[in-house]
Structure 1
């Protein structure tokens, strides 16, 4: 269930896979050319704002901020945690029957993508680690918002990047990734680190170190919801919301892990790689670990070079440019996640909900879903699925180019608007080409 991502092959496209690759790269290049001619001042941020947020929504703000709403969401998070612990300790070590695997790899990891895009920072609202840390801080007479110490600013999002890498390594490389002991140990370690950090450093720790919360917050900046300076919820254009993402150390590392791990997942499922792993005498786990690290580093290094080297005339130090432009990778990440994990979320997500009614495999029907069957409509319509995947990747890259261009023209002198952005365009075209190439197994 976990490894079957429902990848539509190149033969499933209404056009040839090579045409999709070339067409996607061309669409990105044409979009950039149009932006250079028609988009000459920042429209998403700064003094040139042209996309206005709608008036705040006081009723929605009151509903979201209500004590009953917040308490209900916290209880939901704690219930899911308690349910998962119960299933992990008393259930069978079997992917086909125990819902813990689906909760961990599907609903939490993949499900937070649409949830954060449509609802905002959902992990922050339901996080059981936050709830436990709040209770411990209160018992220790500490302010849960501040903690005992202040987290240094230079730490940035680096702890979250490491946590995300630990997750994707467990999912994609670990030979025991579908063993109940592995998942249980990972979750226990995650809770210990996040709760202890929350008590020590307060809410700042969760915002910068919790891998799931950081990922959710990243995606929430592409949602249509945000809070204004007064804390009121307002409806806003997603790209303008994205432009308001705080720039912190480690942001590029986070996006590189997210994008690189998805590319690695595609490559590691290719026929050529499977043949290599079955024929080599080397330790496959070690080889794949180095490959995963290498892909993530390559993604980040290419972006860093494309943004720092041509930026000597920028209005900020060149070393800051990669972080300033890293937000443009978020739409690309979303495009890859949709393309790569759509079937997994829809079909394995259903399977997880079915398993949840009988977590111990003893014939229970706790939620009335035990007798349901998985709807595999997506798998039965490969042409539709393949088309959606191509559209998702190309759309994500086009939105990424728009976000990067809007930020770049505010940081670069007008004479360098085109030349300084060309390296980044080439990198994004390479991302598009490689993503479609891996996705359809050319």
Structure 2
């Protein structure tokens, strides 16, 4: 009898699982022009070809022997004179603080609809998506306009904190930022965020920043603990634009150096300084993959059908209708546990792959040291996963910011005359979306394969002394297979129908 209770749900899931592959971003059925396995094999072939090119075609030079990136001191240029005259940086700083305060105010007092309130679109779409991609293109501007840091400095001046109350323990490293990042993603995925809830979250994070700055000082807090700062700083390593503070180059106060460099070359200039930063990078990757996976039919069917009929019915109730409340509670714990474990699962896989590479390369470095060197080459994968999963939101909801900025509270105002602009619904072409996602993921993994090869070859030259290219290339095969696995799994998640 209990099996019949689930007959309707099972029938729906069976239909969905036997239907053509769907476009994951929209949850609508879309038949791929070719079977999925052909896309997977094609992507794998592209990675293998890129590996061959990196191994046998591109010259094996160490990073410090490559052509130096072009740099220019702009302290006396017309650009800096223009910026100082119009106080561009100060205006951007004031704008960042003003928009943070506006997000809080609109959520507390404005329209309760997520689509009619300024703060949801601005924070989740413009900042967390648009500004992420901006940072990867144009560098770490967030470090200069961080509103939490600016508000913290204002409070410092008012309250008069002369020095930090505690010295930041180096053993903590980036674990506080990772913890805050995990809480942030959990809220995004499971808390059912509303404009009001988002305002409370931003208020709470502002308060946490004040306390952190008071305890550890601004420099330590925003380097190690503020996950926004860590997140945007990591993305900026891929940018062709690098900002060097004046004190690092011995220039006069107020001067600055803008370094134009090859895209992604910032990932080769250093390695991750702590395992916590490596886990943070892996969470950038795994949280996006989990976000896609946990919405699919196959994921929900596994818990609600397979696990229930397998053993959970004996711990909840054999009547599925009576078991629903208990199953819902278990499902929340199930989801949260997998989200929390996801970066450590990736870490274990990465350590196993690098351990095998270490044996093949006969490196004198430890697996941990090699893993830290491989941390930054993983960032292009995290970036393309992020873009592939979410870029359509910029097309569909991000453009709504043009109208929302004129009516941020949703009260029917029209401050800038744009309140009626772009009111129609924008639905991107599903076929175009799938192939863009496919191209992004393949290209991102190819870049990571190339960067990983550069890192390992430099390490082999400097730490082993052997210049046997065949052995070095052989040691990269486990990393190549890992990249192929990431590519295939990422495409598979995107191709799954959502429930």
1:406 lines up with 2:454 in the alignment: yes
Deviation of 1:371 after TM superposition, in Å, equals: 0.5
Report the 3-state secondary structure (helix = DSSP H, G, I; strand = E; otherwise coil) of the residue aligned with 2:417: coil
1:54 lines up with 2:102 in the alignment: no
Provide the residue aligned with 2:206 in structure 1: 191
Task: Give the conservation status (yes or no) of the 8 Å contact 1:5–1:344.
Answer: no
| Structure-2 separation of matches of 1:308 and 1:161 | 25
Task: Give the conservation status (yes or no) of the 8 Å contact 2:353–2:478.
Answer: yes
Deviation of 1:271 after TM superposition, in Å, equals: 2.2
Provide the residue aligned with 2:235 in structure 1: 219
1:76 lines up with 2:95 in the alignment: yes
Deviation of 1:427 after TM superposition, in Å, equals: 1.4
Unaligned segments of structure 1, at least 5 residues:
none
1:364 lines up with 2:413 in the alignment: yes
Deviation of 1:297 after TM superposition, in Å, equals: 2.3
- The partner residue of 2:422 within 370, 373, 376 is 373
Deviation of 1:385 after TM superposition, in Å, equals: 1.9
1:166 lines up with 2:183 in the alignment: yes
| Structure-1 separation of matches of 2:206 and 2:271 | 26
- Is 409-418 or 420-429 further displaced after alignment? 409-418
- Is 153-162 or 285-294 further displaced after alignment? 153-162
- The partner residue of 2:345 within 288, 292, 298 is 298
Q: CA 1:184–1:79 in 2, change beyond 3 Å: closer, same or farther? A: same
Deviation of 1:152 after TM superposition, in Å, equals: 3.1
Task: Give the conservation status (yes or no) of the 8 Å contact 1:13–1:387.
Answer: no
1:287 lines up with 2:342 in the alignment: no
| Structure-2 separation of matches of 1:433 and 1:393 | 9
Provide the residue aligned with 1:119 in structure 2: 138
| Structure-2 separation of matches of 1:66 and 1:407 | 43
- Is 308-317 or 27-36 further displaced after alignment? 308-317
Report the 3-state secondary structure (helix = DSSP H, G, I; strand = E; otherwise coil) of the residue aligned with 1:56: strand
Deviation of 1:7 after TM superposition, in Å, equals: 4.3
Q: CA 1:371–1:67 in 2, change beyond 3 Å: closer, same or farther? A: closer
Report the 3-state secondary structure (helix = DSSP H, G, I; strand = E; otherwise coil) of the residue aligned with 1:222: coil
Provide the residue aligned with 2:473 in structure 1: 418
Q: CA 1:269–1:75 in 2, change beyond 3 Å: closer, same or farther? A: same
1:431 lines up with 2:486 in the alignment: yes
| Structure-1 separation of matches of 2:183 and 2:84 | 33
Provide the residue aligned with 1:208 in structure 2: 224
Provide the residue aligned with 1:382 in structure 2: 430
Q: Which whole-Å deviations, capped at 9, do the CAs of 1:50-87 have from their partners, x for residues lacking one?
A: 4x311315135666688922211210111101111110
TM-score of the aligned structures, taking structure 1 as reference length: 0.88
Task: Give the conservation status (yes or no) of the 8 Å contact 1:266–1:439.
Answer: yes
Q: Which whole-Å deviations, capped at 9, do the CAs of 1:374-425 have from their partners, x for residues lacking one?
A: 5766x34222222211111011111111111111111124444123322222
| Structure-2 separation of matches of 1:10 and 1:39 | 42
Report the 3-state secondary structure (helix = DSSP H, G, I; strand = E; otherwise coil) of the residue aligned with 1:234: strand
Deviation of 1:327 after TM superposition, in Å, equals: 0.2
Deviation of 1:9 after TM superposition, in Å, equals: 7.4
Task: Give the conservation status (yes or no) of the 8 Å contact 2:71–2:258.
Answer: no
TM-score of the aligned structures, taking structure 2 as reference length: 0.79
Report the 3-state secondary structure (helix = DSSP H, G, I; strand = E; otherwise coil) of the residue aligned with 1:244: coil
Q: CA 1:410–1:254 in 2, change beyond 3 Å: closer, same or farther? A: same
Q: Which whole-Å deviations, capped at 9, do the CAs of 1:257-311 have from their partners, x for residues lacking one?
A: 1111111111122122344566664222111112222333222221232224532
Task: Give the conservation status (yes or no) of the 8 Å contact 1:57–1:233.
Answer: yes
| Structure-2 separation of matches of 1:300 and 1:62 | 47
Aligned length: 431
Task: Give the conservation status (yes or no) of the 8 Å contact 1:8–1:386.
Answer: no
- Is 213-222 or 238-247 further displaced after alignment? 238-247
Deviation of 1:201 after TM superposition, in Å, equals: 2.2
Q: CA 1:276–1:97 in 2, change beyond 3 Å: closer, same or farther? A: farther
| Structure-1 separation of matches of 2:490 and 2:25 | 16
| Structure-1 separation of matches of 2:354 and 2:159 | 46
Deviation of 1:39 after TM superposition, in Å, equals: 4.1
Residues 250-261 of structure 1: pairs in structure 2 closer than 5 A:
250-261=276-287
- Is 313-322 or 246-255 further displaced after alignment? 313-322
Q: Which whole-Å deviations, capped at 9, do the CAs of 1:102-137 have from their partners, x for residues lacking one?
A: 223222211222210222113222211111111223
- Is 261-270 or 368-377 further displaced after alignment? 368-377
- Is 85-94 or 194-203 further displaced after alignment? 194-203
Task: Give the conservation status (yes or no) of the 8 Å contact 1:31–1:398.
Answer: yes
| Structure-2 separation of matches of 1:311 and 1:152 | 32
Deviation of 1:333 after TM superposition, in Å, equals: 0.9
- Is 160-169 or 64-73 further displaced after alignment? 64-73
- The partner residue of 1:233 within 241, 250, 258 is 258
Provide the residue aligned with 1:21 in structure 2: 40
Q: CA 1:69–1:328 in 2, change beyond 3 Å: closer, same or farther? A: same
